[in-house]
Amino acid sequence: MERKIFYGEYTLRHWLDLILKRNIELPAYQRHFVWSKESVVKFLIQLKEGLFVPPVILGSFKKNVSNENIILDGQQRLTSVLLGYLGIYPKFEEFKEPVEPIFR
């Protein structure tokens, strides 16, 4: 199996584009979004102030003729960035039931 590891710093715009263009997928084994509104606000302030943010880790796997990019770590952070961009906050009751993958 060929392994490739890429490191890089990406802009928030890059991550938003990946999500909005559905170029990354949240695998079924990942937990649902659980951060409180206060946690989201705190995280967005950390980004704005340039404080350390743990990396987001994606796995890229061959699927048929294309690559499938899945979120291995950082789903809560990526979702928070998306929520901040969209200016919304979800109702937690909607996250209690299993859902179909939204990043396809």
Cα–Cα distance, 52 to 34 (Å, whole number): 21
Give 71's strand partners. 58
Place 103 in a pLDDT band, splitting at 50, 70 and 90: low
> What is the per-residue pLDDT for 90?
73
Over pLDDT 70: what percentage of the chain?
82
pLDDT digits (tens, 9 = 90+) for 4-30: 667 777 888 888 898 889 888 888 888
Residue with token string 């946690």: 39
> What is the per-residue pLDDT for 76?
93
